[in-house]
A and B are shown apart, each in its own frame.
Chain A
């Protein structure tokens, strides 16, 4: 598994796409700085929010794209044959590739946040450990979403389907509090209409949980306690479900 994960990491390092993504992230941070100038007194807040948001988006784009394409591409080019005809368990192959994808995404997010922090400090921002929680939250979102993408890629054997469905689910995952509100508010009067929405709300991942960046700068008297431990467990469990199913699916796969 470690060999596969490190191999994916090495491939990404050498892949121009990865380097371009990092360069693009530099451009995005620059854009954040410009947005910050427009906010005058609130420049640092805007820089903080834009930066963290784009770090997450770029990490997500890389991870979801890789999860949707890597295995399918290796099956298409038959690279997978040269791996599976070695004493490598199929489940290890899937998990190792996923670990490599997350290692790459995590490294990219760390590099981008190091640059982001440097810019923030130069602008006079006062460090808070909440930044790390916010980054962790973003990474957990990427982890959960990428695990879904991987399963969908193997299930549908279509990159486009996997990417599309994953992004829809990702978006819905952020709307969960609103979906619950609507189901509660309109559920009694329009139960048939609300039924699909209600059903969806039970299965999609609650990605709002991991938006810990929304809790930066919140005054102490408004802050709600964040059960971070529980939420990390939730992310791990959610991820484990789809990775296990991906491994089972791959085990049964015929080439």
Chain B
């Protein structure tokens, strides 16, 4: 027992030295350690084995599957008035493919924003999650206020991230129905290796709508050749066919 006591005392001393020299592991914020109601056990388990980043990875997988699939929020049998959109999943209201910026309406994929914010709680540097969700909310689901809420959440954790500022500006322009301005603001995002395919797809569509056929063809070709999402590849192929370049 004396040996055990000696060991514990020495460990305490080591930890004290670490604390005094301020070399301890970075502190966590209280928001980060909150357990999400839908994944409490999973989060706790992953935190317990030191896999915080993995928790955020599972979060993004879950979010992409959620957004990429059929919603299960509606009671069975209720007509949600939805239809197929150019994103490959259902959208709501009367869809006009020639005027996508006017439409989308409705409050579907309600958990998209909260899911993205949860991912940021786990990994504040995982801006892809926030930018993807903000882009989907603003440009596909026509919920710009929610999109700005997600961007704001990301900015609080990463104030120097220029992409958040760019997306916020683009959302503003999209709200005002100014697709040319959206293109101008979002074009530099294409250079980011982490640019979500969804944003590429949006810009390609805006190019197509504004008659910039060459740029549209280039971007759809890039999507078709490089994305791992089969939905977007199929969509790109269809659009390239429509553009006469497939």
Contacts and interface: CB of A to CB of B under 8 A. Distances in A.
Interface of A: 35, 37-43, 45-46, 49-50, 53, 56-57, 141, 151, 155, 170-171, 173-178, 180-181, 185, 201-209, 211, 213-214, 216-219, 221-222, 224, 227, 230-231, 234, 237-238, 241-242, 245, 248-249
A141 B26 contact: no
A203 B11 contact: yes
Nearest to A40: B229
A236 to B, nearest CB: 10
Contact of B26 (A42, A177, A217): A177
Interface in B109-143: 123-125, 128, 132
A177 B64 contact: no
9 pairs of A and B residues whose beta carbons are closest in the complex: A208-B25, A174-B50, A171-B48, A202-B12, A40-B229, A221-B160, A203-B11, A241-B10, A177-B28
Interface in B160-186: 160-161
Contacts of B228: 37, 40-41, 43
Interface in B66-109: none
Nearest to A171: B48
B39 interface: no
B16 interface: yes
Contact of B124 (A181, A185, A203, A222): A222
Contact of B128 (A42, A53, A57, A155): A42
Given A49-B53, A178-B47, A217-B125, A39 B61 contact: yes
Nearest to B229: A40
A6 to B, nearest CB: 28
Interface of B: 3-4, 6-8, 10-12, 14-16, 18, 21, 23-28, 30, 33, 47-54, 57, 60-61, 64-65, 123-125, 128, 132, 158, 160-161, 194, 196-197, 227-229
Contact of B158 (A155, A217, A222, A227): A222
Contact of A181 (B30, B61, B123, B194): B30
Contact of A206 (B6, B15, B64, B128): B15
B60 A42 contact: yes
Contacts of A230: 18, 21, 23
B49 A171 contact: yes
Contacts of B65: 38
A41 B54 contact: no
Nearest to B3: A245
B8 to A, nearest CB: 5
A211 B50 contact: yes
A174 B45 CA distance: 11
A34 to B, nearest CB: 11
A115 B28 CA distance: 33
Nearest to A223: B125
A41 B128 contact: yes
A202 B15 contact: yes
Given A155-B3, A177-B25, A222-B124, A39 B57 contact: yes
A148 to B, nearest CB: 9
A109 B51 CA distance: 17
A182 to B, nearest CB: 9
A206 B161 CA distance: 30
Contact of B14 (A151, A218, A234, A245): A234
A247 to B, nearest CB: 10
B150 to A, nearest CB: 17
A43 B227 CA distance: 11
A174 B54 contact: no
Nearest to A235: B14
Contacts of B132: 41
A211 B12 contact: no
Q: Among B8, B33, B228, B229, find the residue whose CB has the most chain A CB atoms closer than 10 A.
A: B228
Contacts of A206: 15, 18, 24-25
A177 B217 CA distance: 50
A177 B27 contact: yes
B47 A174 contact: yes
B53 A40 contact: no
Given A41-B197, A151-B7, A181 B28 contact: yes
Nearest to A176: B25
B167 to A, nearest CB: 16
B195 to A, nearest CB: 8
Contact of B57 (A45, A57, A221): A45
